[in-house]
Amino acid sequence: MSKFSTLVFKQKFADLLKTVFPATKFELLLFTFFLTVYGFLGTTIALNYRIIFDDRIPWDAYFSFDNRAIVMTGGGFERHPLSIYFFNWMREFAYLFSDGKKDEIFRLVLAWCSNFAVSLSLIQIYKYLKNIIALPKKISLLILSFFAFFTTTILLSFTPETYTYTLLFLVLFNYYAALKVRKEEKIPAVALALAGISIGGLTVTNFVKVYIPLLFEKNIFKNWRKFGNVAGRVILSVMAFILLFLYRIDFKYLNFLDKSEQQYEKFSTAKKTPLWDMIGSWFFGGNMLFSDFAIRDYHNKKGFFYKALFMEVYHSWIPYVFVVIVLILVFWSYFRNFKNKYVQILMISFFVDIVIHCILKFGLHTSYIYGGHFVFVFPLMIGWLFYSYENSPKILTLLYSTVVILLVYLALNNIFRMQEFFLFLNQYYI
């Protein structure tokens, strides 16, 4: 390798580190703060309770997360095609500290891995708000604080699940793609392949989101050569994913199709709860604002009985108002910035989840666990709404006041509900 090539490689590697990790002292301070706060929560739960990982509980201990199944096997290959490799490494990493035991130290390492991923996700949100939207620090921190109190953010900060790392990879990829769009650069085939393997490998329904930014590369629909280049990169990245997946299932692709059909039938069955309330309380609301909790009795195949915690629909009009206001802000931003490429990338990605969960109704009855796939769009879209009114002081004041009020209510509600969560832990999971 020539000296010039070495310098180019070192520069690209340095740029990658600056993109992924905190790049300034203030970002490092923010990262440390989130690590400390979420770390305290995760450490408390891991050392004092067995809810994060209990070898006797296969699934659904809290809010339908499949912690044990994910950690031990990566989950079902029909939904999580390549996650087994990711979680095999994580499990072995945790064993290094727990001396091969599935004890409180094992749980602690799993919780801190989740804490690291979620804290890094928040830094990616901040970088997007600062570097892509170019918002003032005051507004960026308000929006970041709002997102930090979301149900999804709190729960995933200590939960070893695919959604935890999907959140990180999706936010990181959206920030990376936005940087490429801003510079009018192509997303390389290697980057697309890695994104497809990591994002689609953890949850297959997210695979298509990797290719959304390609639609906004300059002149791809006007220049056949550029269109062919995009098609070639897509084909290469898809082939890489397919080959790894076929190897994972020993090339028994018919088994994958059968399992996928079974999963769709299982998770799209209509429930007694009205469709509008599942969408409002669980898909939109449950990923931001905790609702009331319900406790159910479960048992494993060996007859071990345990208690499981689930979210109910909202029982007061106030949470519905909260959800409606947030959605008004998001879609107001969308229509206000309709011609904005960055906004279209975010919203098309969001619409993928709306189709899967709200229209096809896949997993809608537990859609409050899918927030890692899309809920990061909310703070970013609110950020774009602030940007669009940068020259309108009165509207900015209104928006700022609205988000402050939403933040106060969100924080109070979710802190109160977490106290109820700890009551559940104290009663059943010591």
Q: Could you report the per-residue pLDDT of 295-307, keeping only the tens digit for each? A: 999 988 888 999 9
Supply the DSSP symbol for 209: G
Q: What's the pLDDT at 248?
A: 87
CA distances from 293 to 42, 155, 220, 375 (A): 20, 14, 49, 21
Q: Please identify which residue in the block is written with the tokens 């149900």.
A: 151
Cα-to-chain-centroid distance, residue 399: 25
Q: Is residue 378 a contact partner of residue 285, using CB atoms and an 8 Å limit?
A: no
Domain boundaries, the chain: 22-161+272-428
pLDDT tens, 273-332? Answer: 899 999 999 999 999 999 999 999 998 888 899 999 999 999 999 999 999 999 999 999
Rounded CA separation 123/144 (Å)? 9
Q: Interhelix angle for 83-98 vs 104-127, to 10°?
A: 130
Which of 2-16, 126-140, 388-402 has the weakest average pLDDT? 2-16
pLDDT at 219: 87
Look at residue 256 in the predicted model and tell me its pLDDT. 63
Distance of alpha carbon 241 from alpha carbon 195, whole angstroms = 10
What is the separation, in whole angstroms, between the first and last Cα of the chain?
57
Q: What is the pLDDT of residues 328-345, one digit of tens each?
A: 999 999 999 999 999 999
**Residues 411-415: contacts with CB under 8 Å, at least 24 apart:** 411/149, 413/289, 413/290, 413/319, 414/149, 414/150, 414/151, 414/154, 414/289, 414/290
- Mean pLDDT across the chain: 93
- pLDDT tens figures, 205-257: 999 999 999 999 988 988 899 999 999 999 999 999 999 998 888 877 666 66
